[in-house]
Amino acid sequence: MSTALTEIPGWYIEFQAALLCQAPRPGEIDQTTAEGWINNQKGLKKNLAGCLLLPQPTAIVEPPKSTPSILKLVSTVKVLATTSKFVAKDKFVVNIKRNAPVKISAVWYDFTALFLSGDGKTEDPISEQTLRYCKLRQSSVDDPIITELGGEAKAETTLSEMFSLMEKQKNGEDGVLLNNGYANIFYIRDQKGALRTVNVRWRGDGWVVRAYSVENPRRWVDGFQVFSRNSVLESLEPSAPAQA
């Protein structure tokens, strides 16, 4: 007896014999059907397995966990259209006197270098715009924030829009901008067209303005506020009044 035959267990030989005994008899199956199965033994094997074998357990695949949102949308605010060019050097001037157009107590060197050097940045008039503003749920660097807003094109705002909000709260009054020392963050292109992080905070007697590279490893703290013009985030809250 060959080695192959001696390795086949007796129970399996009995099982094969049982299959043969229960196969359809000539009077129960016609020649065409029988020859069809003879020529399609792969299908015959599959059908027999489906009848005789228990189904294999299906592995449970858990859906991928979504990344928690780092931004909570607060609302929107309309900014009125302008009719003249916005000249940054004429607007971002340190002045905390009572009659100052906007009380600004400090313009840091980084903002000056990126937006006020030489002739400074000049922006064309804008039509009425709607800005979205949201709170940071957790501390974060800029890249994840920009990504959640929908990318640079969606996150971008202008100096003109930021300054119009500052004018509305020129003495640090309550309004859309945070006035508790927390940062109000805007993504604005500098004189060379590079997107920068600009933040404005109220510090006691005036607004403080700074600018950074969006690749700066500094982390913004939860509770800070982020403004964008075309972000993918949508608000269910009514818009704040247009800012003159």
Where residue 82 falls among pLDDT bands split at 50, 70, 90? very high
Tell me: do 121 and 178 sit in the same domain: yes
Residues spanned by the domain of 204: 71-243
Most confident of 34-38, 44-48, 89-93, 228-232: 89-93
Tell me: do 115 and 142 sit in the same domain: yes
> 57 in a domain, yes or no?
no
Residues in the chain: 244
Which two three-digit tokens encode residue 36?
A: 């069809």
Average pLDDT over residues 116-140: 95
Which two three-digit tokens encode residue 63?
A: 């859906």
Top-confidence residue, 58 or 104 = 104
Confirm if 242 and 80 have CB atoms less than 8 A apart: yes
> 62 in a domain, yes or no?
no
> 138 in a domain, yes or no?
yes
Sign of CA dihedral 219, 104, 107, 188: positive
Tell me: do 160 and 89 sit in the same domain: yes
77-81, 115-119, 124-128, 238-242: which has the minimum mean pLDDT? Answer: 238-242
> What domain count does the chain have?
2
Tell me: do 173 and 98 sit in the same domain: yes
Distance in angstroms (rounded) separating the CA atoms of residues 45 and 36 = 13
Where residue 1 falls among pLDDT bands split at 50, 70, 90? very low
> 61 in a domain, yes or no?
no
Average pLDDT over residues 232-241: 50
Q: Which of 80, 72, 70, 88 is nearest to 209 (CA)?
A: 88
Tell me: do 80 and 194 sit in the same domain: yes
Tell me: do 218 and 164 sit in the same domain: yes
Top-confidence residue, 244 or 141 = 141
Mean predicted lDDT score pLDDT of the chain: 86
Tell me: do 204 and 90 sit in the same domain: yes
Tell me: do 157 and 95 sit in the same domain: yes
Asked whether the predicted pLDDT for residue 2 surpasses 60, the reply is no
Sign of CA dihedral 99, 84, 160, 228: positive
> 86 in a domain, yes or no?
yes
